[in-house]
Amino acid sequence: MKDRQRRVRADFLANRERILRTAAQLFGERGVDLPLDEIAVAAGVGSATLHRHFSGRVELVHSVLDAEAGRLATRAVELSSHGHPEQALRVWLLELVQFSTSFRGLAVLLAANDADTTLENRHHALTDACRLLLTSAQAAKRIRATIDASDLLKLAHGIAVASAGSPDVAGRLLDIVTDGLRVPPTTRSGH
């Protein structure tokens, strides 16, 4: 009996993860307004299975956002171990910008519904991830000590809005920002 319960639980979790991965991909490709039945079909599950996991579109979107915030937090830890803190921070910020621009229709959907109760948790996870990389770059004296993680997140959001989903524009704007974050080269007096 316990083996069957474990298999059922494992199948339940596997279906949920498959739905989340598929939804994230399809939201990125087509926006958050696509029919939930299409997500179920693409995930290889029935509509009833999708609805057992998620009460509706808003809950599915929030779950995808939570999963993506968790992925970005994990990614920050991975990047922090590679020895190039300034580069790690830039790579992570670009991934954050790309994530922020990936779901067309998200702002409208969230604005039309009640406040997001998981927003604070997501914000803390992303702030902590940014702070990890920023602190490392500051300790290496590559980024000015006066820079704050919450300011960087606001800049990344601004870049996401300004780039309108164009990776090239996002990259250029991020280069401008990261140039401004660097510790200025010391100048010798008298020269």
| CATH 1.10.10 applies to domain 1-54 | yes
Which residues make Cβ contacts (< 8 Å) with residue 171, sequence separation at least 6? Answer: 94
Cβ atoms within 10 Å, residue 106: 18
- The confidence score (pLDDT) of residue 83 equals 80
- The confidence score (pLDDT) of residue 105 equals 63
Cβ atoms within 10 Å, residue 99: 20
Q: And the tokens for 67?
A: 């999963």
- Model confidence at 64: pLDDT above 70: yes
Closest CA to 66 of 121, 22, 146: 121
- Can you tell me the mean pLDDT for 24-41? 90
Total number of residues shown for the chain:
191
Q: Where are the domains of the chain?
A: 1-54, 56-185
* Per-residue pLDDT reduced to its tens digit, 68-119: 889 999 999 999 998 899 999 999 999 998 888 777 666 566 556 555 556 7
Q: State how far the Cα of 152 lies from the Cα of 155, in Å rounded to an integer.
A: 5
Round the average pLDDT of the chain to a whole number and report it: 85
- The confidence score (pLDDT) of residue 108 equals 60
Q: Which pLDDT band, with edges at 50, 70 and 90, does 37 fall under?
A: very high
DSSP labels, 153-175: HHHHHHHHHHHTT-HHHHHHHHH
* Per-residue pLDDT reduced to its tens digit, 166-179: 888 989 999 998 88
- Model confidence at 1: pLDDT above 90: no
Which of 3.40.980.10, 3.40.50.300, 1.10.357.10, 3.40.50.720 would CATH assign to domain 56-185? 1.10.357.10
User: First CA to last CA across the chain, in angstroms?
Assistant: 81
Cβ atoms within 10 Å, residue 108: 12
- The confidence score (pLDDT) of residue 118 equals 62
Find tokens 């999708």 and name the residue.
Answer: 50
